[in-house]
A = this chain, B = another copy of it.
Amino acid sequence: MPELPAPASRRERLRTQTLQELKAASLAEVRERGAVGLSLRSVARRLGMSPAGLYRYVDSREQLLTLLIADGYHDLADHLLVALGTRPTERTAGQAAEPEVPLIAGPDRDVAERIRAVALAYRAWSVAHPNLFGLLFGDPIPGYHAPPGGPTVEAMNRFGRALAQPLIEAWEQGRLRSHPALDAEELAAPLAPMGPAAGELPAAVLARLLLSWGRLHGQVSLEVFGHHHWLMPEGCERLFRADVEVTLRDLGVC
């Protein structure tokens, strides 16, 4: 979120500052108690405000959650971009202590190392913020659908671009191995009318992206939600690293 120059009247400055505090307090609640446990009254108590007062800044509890979702995607995207060597020190949004990025591989590094870096960063962020991971990727908010042009989809797109970046590079370098199951035309066909985010990505690359993302996401999801941890108390990270290596071989870059 680039800071707008906006000279902004005193009123407006106070307003945006209050809204930032509101989001920060809500974020803290979500981190501690999960998205389900977010209570407007409790947030109001933190801010020393009346519950009704919050409604000057937020339409409803649900809309507040979507604000946090957008921020969450931005935070995760920032994290991935750090792993890719972009955006070296900025890190404005996430004011709470951020997890270390386990591996940084800038644009000059081999593409396999860059994929590794983004995958490890994805897991590191998710494990460090399980409740935020749940907010982004867990049960969807019952009635909610993101408005097409809104800040939520923009944040999701930024995240998606960061995730796709090294795969696109691999494709540009001609290093994606062809695969009978992945290059079948019946797979590429439904991908042709792709969403607004995909841009000019060829279907075969998009297919590999979704597949690879899905794999890593599955491991992370099972770990964060406690399903791996229960069968395998230790070693989730090693299992994840093994999956990354297998995926790199499948892609052909390693």
Contact = CB atoms under 8 A, between A and B. Distances in A.
Interface of A, helix, strand, loop or mixed by DSSP: helix
A202 interface: no
Interface string A180-210: 1110101101110111011000000011001
A139 B181 CA distance: 32
A170 interface: no
22 contacts: A34-B142, A134-B138, A134-B139, A137-B221, A138-B139, A138-B225, A140-B226, A181-B245, A184-B242, A187-B235, A187-B242, A190-B234, A191-B235, A193-B233, A193-B234, A195-B230, A195-B231, A195-B232, A210-B228, A210-B232, A211-B242, A214-B228
The count of identical subunits is 2
A138 B134 CA distance: 7
Given A217-B222, A218-B221, A242-B211, A231 B37 contact: no
A179 interface: yes
A215 B247 CA distance: 10
B243 A214 contact: yes
Given A214-B222, A218-B218, A243-B211, A194 B231 contact: yes
A254 B202 CA distance: 28
Interface of A: 33-37, 134, 137-140, 142, 156, 160, 179-182, 184, 186-187, 189-191, 193-195, 197-198, 206-207, 210-211, 213-222, 225-228, 230-235, 238-239, 242-243, 245-246, 249-250
